[in-house]
Amino acid sequence: MCYFKTFDPTVPMTYLLCVMSICVFTANPYLQLCALFGGTVLLLCIKKKKALKLLALCAAVIAVMGGTNPLFVHRGLTELFHIGKDPYTLEALLYGLSTGCAIAGLLIWFSAFNAIVTQDDILAVFGKRMPKTALVISMILGFIPKLHDKYRELLHAQYGTGATRRKSLRRCASLFVACLACEAERVMDISLSMKARGYGLKKRTRAQRRRFRKSDGAAIVFSVGLCVLCFVLIGKGRLDYWYYPRLSPNGFDPLGVGSYLLLCVAPLFFIVKERTLWRYCPARN
Amino acid sequence: MEILSCKELNFSYNGSDRRTLCGVSFGVQRSQVVLVVGRTGSGKSTLLRLLKKEIAPVGKLAGEIKVNGKAQRDLTLLESTQLISYVSQNPQTQTVTHNVSSELAFGLESLGIGKDEILGRVGEMAAYFGIEDIYSKSIDELSGGQKQLCCLCAAVVQSPQILLLDEPAAQLDPIGKGKLFSVLRRLNSELGTTLIIAEHDVQGAFEFCDKIIVLDGGRAVCYDDRESFLRAAAADESLRGYIPACARAVMPLGRTAFNVRQAKGIIEQSFKPSQQAVQKADEDKKAQYAVTAQNVYFRYSREDRDVARCLDLKVKQGEIFAVVGSNGSGKTTLLKVLSGILKPWQGKVTIGGKNIKAYKGNSLYRENAAVMPQDPYDLFTSQSVRNELDKTCRDMNEKGGYDELCAQFGIGGLLDMHPFDLSGGEIQKCAMVKLLLTKPQVLFLDEPSKALDPQAKAVLGQTLQSLSQQGRTVIIATHDLDFAAQYAHTCALFFDGKAHSCAQSREFFARNNFYTTDASRIARNVFPSAVTVQELEAAVRSGDRL
């Protein structure tokens, strides 16, 4: 993940938002496949074996969406077979797969976002202009994993004193309330600690540990440029794709698909560059 | 001029008629080190928090606090932040950001200091504290000791004139404690920072403190030097627990010592060196084992390293077994694995001769085993202590019947309080009562003596001894070596995933250099078998002087 750490935190954030914004809005299967491919490669590079669980889940989502959509939607002219009186159409099957790919793509890119953009990066990006808001956002993002850890601790503590292991809704709710109370107490103590260290004084500053360089600007221009190009082509209808009643013969615009593919696989360039540099680095020996 | 003074301070919390502080008056000179001691709930934390306006508890306050000659209420937020910093006993509730570097910069950013100056000051302070290796780490990756050092560094980087420390060493292992107090001592001697330290375990700060304030029932008695405190404590049984081992050891000789080196010197000059080694106790081969672990491996996830590996352990029935070790060594995990809360991926754990896998449902924790977590507040999910104890009785199908235990632990007056309103020591006592209601044969206690005053520790220790006499087994993970030396039958050092040096506590402490008590360090050349301060005191009284 070092290749992203060589950039200013604005770069990975902008890049990931660009990729995801197109992934959310498009139903074009070529763009979806680009997102899926780029995201999978990136996630495997970042998380290695840990990514396999999520990828398996994504595969399951695609399969389920693809398999079940034709059971409920009978639109489309290419009938593959009949289930009872209802036709099972190729168009509905592909539409289901496409929807599955869109969801899987988003899951994968969000997972990459979580792994790459830390709370400190958020603070670094927004901290200069909005130091207080950035701090609050960063603390909120840290709240959920802490809540989860606390819930587990409370559960263990309750087991250890004879409480039942049966997971009733009432029991879970009471533990969750206790968990929230613990966290509320902790947050109150943290707010006191913040106040004790001068939080609330008017002129809050932010100590940036890294300067914004030309290469950061170039990377942002690259990401935003490709993203804007894709949106322009989407706006012009060159990346439109439809499934019903028959599959669209259009949708493969070389410029649009090529640009998005380039955007999605751009981190690979840095991964390969870093590995090559390290391989031939004299310091390694 | 006094840098801080309190005059006739009275305080009571909102909704309470009881005065937490009553007529407290004292003054602190610039660069002095003040040690505040007192029983659990005596108002130490309240006093310290009142000294910093921004974190003062809500309630009725009367009297006057002056900082640098100015009334505290007239200090602006900027002045107060620059003058006074505060470090609490729980680093979890002090860290605001998610990694060490931004945590250290937080206070300076609040003060509006420029970027370059912040980075310079943070870098300098990180080097001074020796925490450069954790500078880029996430706070969640740090051990308890590292977190506490990070909090201290974050407080000191603001260059305060007064540093308030509320039980700063409560969660630290003996070596971490030593490091913390040496840093504090350097801060005082090199930067002239005024320190006000509230502590139960006085040894660390006693060595270099100038003044001692004893809080009892909200009233403060001020001793202007250590000698006057020692004279008063020698005559007052309730203060004896606050006399550090080094001073207590030489008291029968009519001498005074403030650190181990001085006490060791006096003892060795006064008595003949002993060549006798500590006798190894014969192993009882017929003893029944209450808990065993055979070739146990445990890790939190496949990618992590093993926290317990190739672990073999046997704990006899009716034994008090103490596990000591450094912060982050895995003592808590060990307790969870032995008690069946966490399942090992390899190996076998038995309780009462039965594999823990054979206990169905939650039957293991009903009349078999009970576990006190590191944070005893986790045991309380009800609105009051009484409701929680009632719930435990219902879980155990028992009706009432906790009055005797409440009286034994002195928590009768706390039953209707919300658990979160109790102090650290009070909640420990309530948690013990809740645990004992499940009538366990084996008790697993994680840091049971944490935040307890000497009197409360004695009550806890006696309770554990009486449980042991009833044939119940107690396994504790602790940093409190004095407590382990006094009450545990067997001790082990948990290190590298295994329990090493498992031995009878006398033998264990007599052979260790760092994981040992001050009494053992003082006495080892003269009275090698004395490992507790009481034993050393008795040996000094009865020994033949040169």
Contacts of A265 (CB under 8 A, 6+ apart): A37, A38, A41
Of the spans A158-162, A250-254, B252-256, B455-459, which averages the highest pLDDT?
Answer: B252-256
Alpha-carbon dihedral B337, B338, B339, B341, rounded to 10 degrees? 10
Q: Is A178 an interface residue toward B (CB < 8 Å)?
A: yes
Q: List CB contacts (< 8 A) between B158 and chain A.
A: 197-198
B246 alpha carbon, distance to own chain's centre: 19
H/E run at residue B311: strand B308-316
DSSP A30-51: HHHHHHHHHHHHHHHHHHGGGH
Q: Where are the beta strands (DSSP E) in B155-210?
A: 162-166, 194-198
Q: What is the mean pLDDT of residues B279-302?
A: 83
Residues B85-125 pLDDT 10s: 999 877 878 888 888 988 999 899 888 888 889 999 999 99
Residues A216-246 pLDDT 10s: 999 999 999 999 999 999 999 888 888 888 8
Q: Is B96 an interface residue toward A (CB < 8 Å)?
A: yes
DSSP 8-state assignment for residue B319: -
- Please give the residue range of the domain that contains residue A82: 1-285
Query: What single-letter amino acid sits at B2?
Result: E
Mean pLDDT of chain A: 86
**What integer pLDDT is reported at residue B165 of this predicted model?**
94
Rounded Cα–Cα distance for residues A138 and B175 (Å):
34
Query: What single-letter amino acid sits at B209?
Result: C
Residues B6-44 pLDDT 10s: 999 999 988 878 889 999 999 999 999 999 998 877 889
As given in the structure block, the two tokens for residue B415 are 């039953």
Of A118, A159, A198, the CB nearest to B78: A198
On whether the CB atoms of residues B229 and B223 are closer than 8 A, the answer is yes
Of B122, B336, B377, the CB nearest to A182: B377
Give the residue among B199, B160, B224, B252 at the shortest CA–CA distance from B36: B199
Is it the case that residue A136 has pLDDT exceeding 80? Answer: no
DSSP 8-state assignment for residue B188: I
As given in the structure block, the two tokens for residue B44 are 């130490």
Q: What angle do CA A252, A256, A259 make, to 5 degrees?
A: 130
Is it the case that residue A2 has pLDDT exceeding 70? Answer: no
Hey, which residues does B292 pair with through a beta bridge? Answer: B314, B350
**Beta carbons of A192 and B55 less than 8 Å apart:** yes
Q: Which CA distances in Å does B57 have to A197, B155, B198, B452?
A: 16, 20, 17, 22
Three-class SS of B67-128: ECCEEHHHCCHHHHHHHEEEECCCHHHCCCCCEHHHHHHHHHHHCCCCHHHHHHHHHHHHHH
Q: List CB contacts (< 8 A) between A155 and chain B.
A: none
Q: What is residue B46's three-state secondary structure?
A: helix
Rounded Cα–Cα distance for residues B31 and B195 (Å):
7
DSSP 8-state assignment for residue B271: B
Residues A60-94 pLDDT 10s: 999 999 999 999 988 888 888 888 888 899 999 99
Residue with tokens 């801060």: B187
Q: B interface mutation test: which of A165, A197, A212 has the most B CBs within 10 A?
A: A197
Q: B interface mutation test: which of A153, A179, A193 has the most B CBs within 10 A?
A: A193
On whether the CB atoms of residues B46 and B21 are closer than 8 A, the answer is yes
Q: Which residues of A207-220 are buried (b: 16+ CB within 10 A; e: fewer)?
A: bbeeeeeeebeebb
**What integer pLDDT is reported at residue A92 of this predicted model?**
92
**What integer pLDDT is reported at residue B279 of this predicted model?**
67
**What integer pLDDT is reported at residue B392 of this predicted model?**
85
Tallying the residues shown for chain B, one arrives at 546
Q: Is A85 an interface residue toward B (CB < 8 Å)?
A: no
Q: List CB contacts (< 8 A) between B303 and chain A.
A: 49-50
% residues pLDDT > 90 (chain A): 36
Residues B509-528 pLDDT 10s: 998 888 999 999 999 889 88
Packing angle, helices B100-110 and B115-129, rounded to 10? 130
On whether the CB atoms of residues B475 and B444 are closer than 8 A, the answer is yes
Interface confidence, given as ipTM, is 0.78
**What integer pLDDT is reported at residue B3 of this predicted model?**
93
**Which range (A186-195, B74-83, B475-484) has the least confidence?**
A186-195
Rounded Cα–Cα distance for residues A226 and A256 (Å):
9
Say how many domains are in chain A.
Answer: 1
Give the residue among B517, B520, B444, B531 at the shortest CA–CA distance from B201: B517
**Beta carbons of B107 and A160 less than 8 Å apart:** no
Question: What's the whole-model pTM score?
Answer: 0.81
Rounded Cα–Cα distance for residues B457 and B206 (Å):
20
Query: Which band of pLDDT confidence, cut at 50, 70 and 90, is reported for residue A105?
Result: very high
Q: How many angstroms separate the CA of residue B427 from the nearest CA in chain A?
A: 14
Packing angle, helices A90-116 and A10-25, rounded to 10? 170
On whether the CB atoms of residues B32 and A173 are closer than 8 A, the answer is no
